[in-house]
Structure 1
Amino acid sequence: MNPKSIKALKDINLPKLVGTRANFTNEDNEPVNLDYALLNPAAKYGGLYAPINLPLISKKEFKKLSNMDYNKFALEIIKKFNFNISLNKFKKAIDRYNKFDKSAVEIKKINKNLYINELWHGPTRAFKDMALQPFGELLSLLSNGNKQLIMCATSGDTGPATLSSFENAKDIKVVCLYPKDGTSQVQRLQMVNQKAPNLKVIGIEGNFDDAQQALKMLLNDDEFKNTLKDLGYNLSAANSVNFGRILFQIIYHIYVCVHINKNEKPIDIIIPSGNFGNALGAYYAKKMGANIDKIKIASNKNNILTQFFNTGIYDLNNKELIHTISPAMDILISSNIERLLFDKFGPVRTKELMDNLANSKKYELTNDELEVLKAEFQADYCDDDECMENICKVAKNGILIDPHTATCLKLTQDDHLSVITSTAQWVKFTPSMIKALKNRDSSDELADMKLLANKYHIKLPKSIIKLFKEDEIHTQVVKKDEIKSNIIDWIKR
């Protein structure tokens, strides 16, 4: 770590972003504006773009925010950043929330000290819509008629949300990579049933980490980018490697603090986490003034984040991805941890740690560095049996939570105000819900979905029901080394 270099970056009092990795000086790590980072998400040395400074919200401003609906609230938070993109463009982006249910965010009180923040009331019934709907609009507005290829890799929810956001967008094509056996049936159908001609969905042999690695390699592949340029396309990404995704995820964590107690009392935010973007949003929200105490990271059996926050060791050696009933968290390489490392320890130390991970599949924090993280983060995990027990426990109150949200129950405290971040509607994981609530396998997913909906008086989304009646369009499955040529062939048509 180079203290002088990181201090120099912190002293730049502008709403800029900078690469998370640098060598011994920051001379080649120049800050960039948001519009550049959105359209060019890959930073130098394989890093990501992250904010140098975050705006601070005053007590007076929090009081003003407490009376706003979500759209106005979101625009006020965006204003604080003073980015180089016009507020009119941001307003058009935020207006995408009008496509959601009655309210973009629903906060349910479970008991005196426990709330559930439902973030899945968008078109694809997952929290990824909260970021990807406005992000899609913003990217379209910034394209200015220039052709864009937007890529994403998904463990289940990013893919459908990205495809929904860019469906039929002018001058934009989208390629979505998903692990062929690594998503739920509904998540898969939300992707492979897509009809818009500007969308391409590719199943890959491998898991989400393989898909994400392929995406990162292509974002940093000069030959690939030059070929696309010759074909008239710029390359960008919709995954949370793009800071535009994180920006919109900050907002709802601030909103929940204001909504519950006008930001006057500290709240623990509990987040089911795989790629760490949602948790990073909470961390940035806390830095901006949201009254968040601990950010608690819930994992499934792929508990590498639990290991990291408890021991300071991030070790991929002898690790194999485990398929669980919470597939969107079946991840071992959490990209957004890098932005946390940058914010805490600077770009030089971050590059050192990331290089260690690339070379030896492992890095380790010092004891002092670990204590810095433990001051704000806590982590634990659930296996599938515990997860199903938690689904049953909450169902006794007449509320159905999905298998990702259910991992959070382990981290609640009866005597401490907590908010569970609910990331998807249960309808996307009916077989797991049936296993938990009925102790049997599901032989007819749609029939079982309707069974649970009737019992718990829930109106099923029409968009989910129709998935089972449509023909699959995107049936292609390829090996990792075939992805690049496959995409280029499609662009050329």
Structure 2
Amino acid sequence: MNYKSTRNNEKTVNSSYAVLHGLAGDGGLYIPENLPSVDLNYDILKDMSYQETAFYVLKEFFPDLGDEELKKSINNAYNTDTFNTPEIAPVAKLDQNISLTELFHGRTLAFKDLALSLFPYLLTASKKAENEKNDILILTATSGDTGKAALEGFRDVPGIKIIVFYPKNGVSPMQEDQMRKQLGGNVDIVAIEGNFDDAQSAVKDIFSSQEFKNLCQENNTTFSSANSINIGRLFPQIVYYVTTYVNLRNKGIITENEKFNVVVPTGNFGNILAAFIAKKMGIPIDKLISASNENNVLADFFKTGTYNKERPFYTTNSPSMDILLSSNFERYLYYVTGENSSRISELMENLMKNNTLSVTEDELTEIQKEFYGDFATENETVDSIKKVYSKFSYLMDPHTAVGYAVLEKYLKESGDKTHSVIISTAHPYKFPYAAASALNLSEKENPYEMLDDLSAVCGINLPKQLEELKTLPLRFSVIINKNKISDYVRNKITEKK
């Protein structure tokens, strides 16, 4: 299995190199030369544990790590120390038409745990396979959940340091507390005066900068990323789409010849891209439903074929989706355009220079056969939380609620009777104000008091992760201008160890 850049068909690298370096040298994203052939027949998968399924799927994507190393990594990542259920990603059925795949049972209570519990092991193994002697410096931009999951995953891993940048006013109070109170001697958390796109663009520019490549070489440092631009982050997400299918069959929710829709709250496009790849590999997914909040650049693309990031940026009650430049979208375009690297280079250059790109009418027609996109307002998000709790006694976080609201719009427009699975991306208690608003609870300044009120009303105990967070001291308080990100990284690379 070799990997190539979305922007260049000629140069290929092995999987361990791609994991180690994250971004291709030409600024593109690594994709497999050919997607692996894996027999995803239900009869093969039905009795596998999550760990066994992960190995069965991922060994094809990371062959250079060796079977024993990969098995050990998977077993270390997915166990009762990191997840509070042996299923890892259980399916909860709301009614005959709708289920949810719960991806919030990991140590940071968000779907990023499903990949970032494994990724540190993949990166460490890749470093060994590549005989890399340099220290690894991970740069990560986060809109909320990636930051904490990456920090926790790489906490005190030898030979690796991590810097996380997040928008100061663009995450929930719980997300910010989780990052600012992070333990570990190799972690650094920096708030920026700007939004997530500012942080993400700065990080990608640093990765592509010749100046920084030279600086790293002089200081025995190698960059890597914990964002889903890295294949070590992206491909482990395929696994829970495979297990979702198996769980639906095992529970009798769908039958042998039935397909199912997938509804994904979508910001950076990595989660729904994993669903797209799972479908290409044989999982019987029918419609891929991309659910955005008021930062609806993706919703507009799926309706018009034009991706235009020149628009207002909104800070919403679903902050992990407050993104206008979806970094994994480039990989999707690569497949949509027939794996045409030169076309991708042209489209991405146009997006960077003119803030827009467009596919052809024929391409849009094909896209709309497979994808549906829409968005939910903040009020619609809160209404969905309220509606689902009232009807099913099930409390959703605001990102999952965006998915529910968009699914309702899709079903109303299409009349589709196919069973739909909403990807539930976070524990509702990570966003206490949205949940409290939906349940008509009085707002309090202290988010932990809000959680106590929610727990009293809903009967859902406060997860131990948030209970412990209450009393931890704040460790990080640096705030910088978005234009100072490069200077900050430069100083970190050159500072005395």
Q: TM-score, normalised by structure 1?
A: 0.93
Partner of 1:344: 336
Deviation larger for 461-470 or 181-190: 461-470
Residue 56 (structure 2) aligned to one of 76, 80, 88: 76
Partner of 2:154: 166
Number of equivalent positions: 472
Partner of 1:51: 32
What is the root-mean-square deviation of aligned Cα atoms in Å? Answer: 1.6
Structure 1 residues 108 and 153: CA distance shift in structure 2, 3 A: same
| Distance across 2 between alignment mates of 1:195 and 1:266 | 44
| Distance across 2 between alignment mates of 1:443 and 1:476 | 23
| Distance across 2 between alignment mates of 1:265 and 1:421 | 19
Residue 102 (structure 1) aligned to one of 76, 79, 85: 85
Residue 125 (structure 2) aligned to one of 123, 126, 141: 141
| Distance across 2 between alignment mates of 1:125 and 1:486 | 29
Deviation larger for 88-97 or 130-139: 88-97
Q: Which runs of 5+ in 2 are unaligned?
A: 251-255
The letter of the residue matching 1:444 is N
Partner of 2:115: 131
Q: Quick check: 2:443–2:450 contact (8 Å CA) kept in 1? A: no
| Distance across 1 between alignment mates of 2:436 and 2:49 | 36
Matches within 5 A, 1:226-245: 226-245=214-233
Partner of 2:164: 176
Partner of 2:375: 381
Q: Does 1:356 align with 2:358?
A: no
Q: Quick check: 2:15–2:62 contact (8 Å CA) kept in 1? A: no
Q: Does 1:404 align with 2:399?
A: yes
| Distance across 1 between alignment mates of 2:187 and 2:216 | 16
Query: What secondary structure is seen at the aligned counterpart in 1 of 2:373?
Result: strand
| Deviations 1:261-282 (CA, angstroms, capped at 9, x unpaired) | 2664200000000000000000
| Deviations 1:431-459 (CA, angstroms, capped at 9, x unpaired) | 11111211543333112212212322222
| Deviations 1:449-473 (CA, angstroms, capped at 9, x unpaired) | 1221232222221221222322211
| Distance across 2 between alignment mates of 1:57 and 1:484 | 42
Residue 306 (structure 1) aligned to one of 283, 299, 302: 299
Residue 156 of structure 1: how far off its partner (Å): 0.2
Partner of 2:43: 63
Q: Quick check: 2:15–2:61 contact (8 Å CA) kept in 1? A: no
Residue 286 (structure 1) aligned to one of 279, 291, 294: 279
Residue 55 of structure 1: how far off its partner (Å): 2.4
Structure 1 residues 228 and 34: CA distance shift in structure 2, 3 A: same
| Distance across 2 between alignment mates of 1:469 and 1:400 | 26
Matches within 5 A, 1:307-346: 307-317=300-310, 319-345=311-337, 346=340
Q: Quick check: 1:399–1:456 contact (8 Å CA) kept in 2? A: no
Q: Quick check: 1:56–1:289 contact (8 Å CA) kept in 2? A: no
Q: Quick check: 1:18–1:51 contact (8 Å CA) kept in 2? A: yes
| Deviations 1:347-375 (CA, angstroms, capped at 9, x unpaired) | 11111111111111111111011112111
| Distance across 2 between alignment mates of 1:80 and 1:264 | 26
Q: TM-score, normalised by structure 2?
A: 0.92
Matches within 5 A, 1:10-21: 15-21=1-7
Partner of 2:195: 207
Q: Quick check: 2:142–2:164 contact (8 Å CA) kept in 1? A: yes
| Distance across 2 between alignment mates of 1:405 and 1:167 | 28
| Distance across 1 between alignment mates of 2:296 and 2:52 | 37
| Distance across 1 between alignment mates of 2:429 and 2:72 | 30
Residue 286 of structure 1: how far off its partner (Å): 0.2
Query: What secondary structure is seen at the aligned counterpart in 2 of 1:375?
Result: helix
Q: Does 1:40 align with 2:21?
A: yes
Partner of 1:10: none
| Distance across 2 between alignment mates of 1:300 and 1:169 | 35
Query: What secondary structure is seen at the aligned counterpart in 1 of 2:109?
Result: coil
Residue 82 of structure 1: how far off its partner (Å): 6.3
The letter of the residue matching 1:42 is L
The letter of the residue matching 2:364 is L
Identical columns (%): 38
Residue 159 of structure 1: how far off its partner (Å): 0.3
| Distance across 1 between alignment mates of 2:104 and 2:38 | 26
Residue 40 of structure 1: how far off its partner (Å): 1.3
Residue 85 of structure 1: how far off its partner (Å): 1.7
Partner of 1:453: 455
Partner of 1:442: 444
Partner of 1:9: none
Q: Which runs of 4+ in 1 moved over 6 A?
A: none
The letter of the residue matching 2:20 is L
| Distance across 2 between alignment mates of 1:146 and 1:416 | 51
Q: Which runs of 5+ in 1 are unaligned?
A: 1-14
| Distance across 1 between alignment mates of 2:62 and 2:140 | 28
Deviation larger for 188-197 or 204-213: 188-197
The letter of the residue matching 1:298 is A
The letter of the residue matching 2:398 is P
Residue 258 (structure 2) aligned to one of 265, 276, 279: 265
